[in-house]
Copies of this chain bind each other. A is one copy, B any other.
Amino acid sequence: MDKLNIKLEKNTGKALYVQLYNQIRKMILENTLKPHSKLPPIRKLASELEVNNVTIVNAYKLLEENDFVYKKVGSGTFIKDNHMLDKEYDSSKLQNYKPIVYNFASTTPTSDLFPVEDFKVVINSVLNRDKGGAFIYQHSQGFESLRISIKKFLYKSKIFTDIDNIHIVSGAQQGIDIISKALVNYGDIVFCESPTYGGAIAAFKSRGAKIIDINLENDGLDMRTLENKLLNFKPQFIYVMPNFQNPTGISYSIQKRKQLIDLAKKYDTYIVEDDYVREINYNDNNILPIKSMDTNNRVIYIKSFSKTLMPGLRLGFTIIPLKIYSDVLTAKQTSDISTSALIQRCFDLYLRKGLWEKHIQNMNEIYSLRYNTMIKSLKKYMPKEIQYNIPYGGLGFWFALPEGFSSIKLHDLCINNDISIVSGSNFYVNKQDSNNFRLSIASISENLIEEGIAKLSKIISDFLQNPNNQYINNDTSLSFF
């Protein structure tokens, strides 16, 4: 193939991969790029355009997602002969969409694990039952029937709250955003774990918060530093993920859970507990949320169903102390008025029919197999220089390269080998790079794990031998989820 006539503008504020996507898409539509012709290899195009490999990968991923190209494993990316434009959308290929062979990056389940048939039955029941009612403005706090279902859903987590405290949100990210809107104004202080979820950092920054991050140890926050900081600063809240933390996978000890609640009371602040993927648990140990120990209304609780059910639902809930009820409700109203009535009603019925328990059991079985294969593979292949913990639940594993090695460089090397990982730099408030990285078993099927870890381990070994690498990561704007 001839060299493509592409020009990327680097300081327009528009992501490079989107520019690239658009230009290639245009060439396909104008028939400058013919059906079944091959797109340039990632490395080659990256070097021609003087951009990071990830830029090319992301652009090709978007092209594939939107049905302009297809991939042949081992031979490259090719133009489709009829693309979707001006036809009715046909997503049959999207189901099998695998942008990267060894996807250790994503923390959301793949669509083959979604309980689509169950949900279809539920949707039709709701439409037959509620008719137009399924499409009204639901009250901003959420559909009361769903809040009753959630109240009961919480019993087995030993949380006994009233439906007045439960607020429906469009996913955990919106929960974080709304709580920030309600409690954080410009210049206010927020404490968080280091490392922590990048989407939370972004939401706090958007409120103009001063963020103080506190080091995470193997059994929870460094409590001495925390109390020290509390003596000097008054945070609006302390944002934590005590159960299978993202990204580290660690869980807090009982002692640190108690300490955290005591400190919140002593220093008159809130704990925001993001109860991430506690349901995915490979041990009998029944780990409970901190909220279950909260006798003083110090814990604001956030729960998403995206990671364990279907991300596209956009549904979650928060538990909010009555003292900040109005602020939170107003924040929800100014955000999007209310969450989809249809989705709330469907999920309510889904819970009431007991389908959630069935689904979680199924997910645990599938993930257990992956988890065991993952541990076996790590023990077998991972170079001894690499440190990591084995979590007893959740989806993520957290690794450390030796000090001074860049996980961003490692990420780029992996992408070139059809492996995706997430660089630790996405999880810190201030660090531009990090020697840490995260692997997840959410999106990789069991049969690819050993192969993937073997390849990754080989890449890491080579990287440890020869850490000099030309790539600079400058296009990770979409990677923090």
Contact = CB atoms under 8 A, between A and B. Distances in A.
Contacts of A91: 129-130, 133, 345
Contacts of A338: 312, 314
Contacts of A13: 322-327
A44 to B, nearest CB: 26
A313 B202 CA distance: 27
A85 B147 CA distance: 11
A336 B171 contact: yes
A161 interface: no
A392 interface: no
Interface residues on A, range: 35 or more
A173 B130 contact: no
Interface in A177-229: 177, 181, 185-187, 199, 202-203, 206, 208
A481 interface: yes
B116 A137 contact: no
A349 B132 CA distance: 19
B116 A325 contact: no
A33 B326 CA distance: 28
A330 interface: yes
Contacts of A129: 90-92
A88 interface: yes
Contacts of A119: 135
A248 to B, nearest CB: 22
Given A137-B311, A138-B312, A336 B92 contact: no
B18 A164 contact: yes
Interface in A113-165: 113-114, 116, 119-120, 123-124, 127, 129-140, 144-145, 148, 164
Given A18-B325, A84-B145, A330-B202, A133 B173 contact: no
A133 B95 contact: yes
A335 interface: yes
A473 interface: no
Given A145-B89, A312-B342, A112 B137 contact: no
A431 interface: no
Contacts of A382: none
Interface of A: 12-15, 18, 22, 62, 65-66, 84-86, 88-92, 94-95, 108, 110-114, 116, 119-120, 123-124, 127, 129-140, 144-145, 148, 164, 170-171, 173-174, 177, 181, 185-187, 199, 202-203, 206, 208, 306, 310-314, 322-327, 329-331, 333-343, 345, 348-349, 352, 477-478, 480-481
Nearest to A310: B135
Given A66-B144, A171-B337, A326 B14 contact: yes
Contact of A136 (B89, B111, B164, B329): B111
The 10 A-B residue pairs with the shortest CB-CB distance, nearest first, are A111-B132, A312-B341, A135-B310, A186-B186, A135-B312, A89-B145, A114-B132, A174-B336, A137-B311, A202-B334
27 contacts: A18-B164, A65-B139, A65-B144, A66-B145, A85-B148, A88-B352, A90-B129, A91-B129, A91-B130, A108-B136, A108-B137, A111-B132, A111-B135, A112-B132, A124-B124, A135-B312, A136-B312, A137-B481, A138-B312, A170-B336, A171-B336, A202-B330, A313-B340, A330-B477, A333-B481, A335-B336, A340-B340
